[in-house]
């Protein structure tokens, strides 16, 4: 089993785009709100197979929550 890491970022969309463009990461699942943590997450897969979860701030459930 490959390692997983959780990284908290200020701008989840910018972070996801940077990881894809600069590191060649893929996005196996679209960004979504984790209801248990109350923040947005995007899962990224690095070219070496490692999975990284990039999470937004805990007080920012994203624009979808305003609907």
Please, are residues 18 and 10 in contact by the beta-carbon 8 Å criterion? Answer: no
The Cβ of residue 41 has, within 10 Å, a number of other Cβ atoms equal to 17
**Residue 50's pLDDT band (cuts 50, 70, 90):** confident
Q: What confidence tens digit (pLDDT) does each residue in 2-39 have?
A: 555 666 788 888 888 888 898 898 988 778 888 888 88
Q: For domain 4-56, which CATH number applies: 3.40.720.10, 3.30.930.10, 3.40.50.80, 3.10.180.10? A: 3.10.180.10
Instruction: Give Dmax (Cα) for the chain.
Output: 38
Structure tokens at 54: 């990039």
Q: How confident is the model at residue 54 (pLDDT cuts 50, 70, 90)?
A: confident
Is residue 36 helix, strand or coil? Answer: coil
pTM, full prediction: 0.68
Domain ranges of the chain: 4-56
Per-residue pLDDT, 65: 56
Interatomic CA distance for residues 52 and 67, integer angstroms: 28
């Amino acid at each position: 089993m490959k390692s997983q890491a959780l990284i908290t970022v200020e701008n989840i969309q910018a972070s996801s785009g940077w990881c894809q463009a600069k590191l060649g990461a893929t996005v196996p699942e679209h960004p979504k709100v984790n209801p248990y943590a109350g923040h947005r997450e995007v899962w990224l897969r690095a070219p070496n197979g490692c999975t990284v979860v990039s999470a937004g701030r805990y007080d920012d459930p994203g624009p979808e929550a305003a609907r």
